[in-house]
Amino acid sequence: MSIHTTHAASTVPDARAFELRVTPDRTQLFAFGAITWNRHKIHFDRVHAMAEGYPDVVVQRGLLGNFLARAVAAWAGPEARIERLSWKVLHSAFPDRELCCQGEVSAVWEDRGERLVECVLRIVDPDGLRVVDGAARVRFQ
């Protein structure tokens, strides 16, 4: 990990690593599917999900990204702005199982008097399986 720091009025949180634990439930999956117009039955119909080879309904890709955004925003604070967020789902996640959203600062630099921070992100399930890999760029004003 390489961290480059310069003097700026913006303040990056002291913690270089952060996490947020979430436990999605079936109601959350149903509601998220409804507000995002995701009608794929694997997200709300257990019988259909099992017919497609899953052990239960599956947490939506977009909801996993939402969890990462929440983790970054909670770490960065209200004065920061997430400029870029990307993620790739590696394995399925299922309801009623705690997910650990983790982040780590990988670079810090100054741009026009503000701090920019790159973070590597991941979501890990209770068995230690890496469900998601991702990255974020955060601007501290």
The whole-angstrom separation of Cα 54 and Cα 47 is 9
How many other CB atoms are found less than 10 A from the CB of residue 126? 10
Cβ proximity of 102 and 130 under 8 Å: no
Rounded mean pLDDT of 46-67? 95
The first and second tokens of residue 130, run together, are 């890496």
The pLDDT assigned to 10 comes to 55
Domains and CATH numbers, the chain: 17-140 (3.10.129.10)
The pLDDT assigned to 20 comes to 97
The first and second tokens of residue 93, run together, are 């996640």
User: Which letter does DSSP use for residue 39 in this model?
Assistant: -
The pLDDT assigned to 1 comes to 31
The pLDDT assigned to 43 comes to 87
102-123 pLDDT tens trace = 999 999 999 888 999 999 999 9
Whole-structure pTM value: 0.88
Instruction: Tell me the pLDDT of the chain averaged across its residues.
Output: 90
14-46 pLDDT tens trace = 889 999 999 999 999 999 888 999 888 888 889
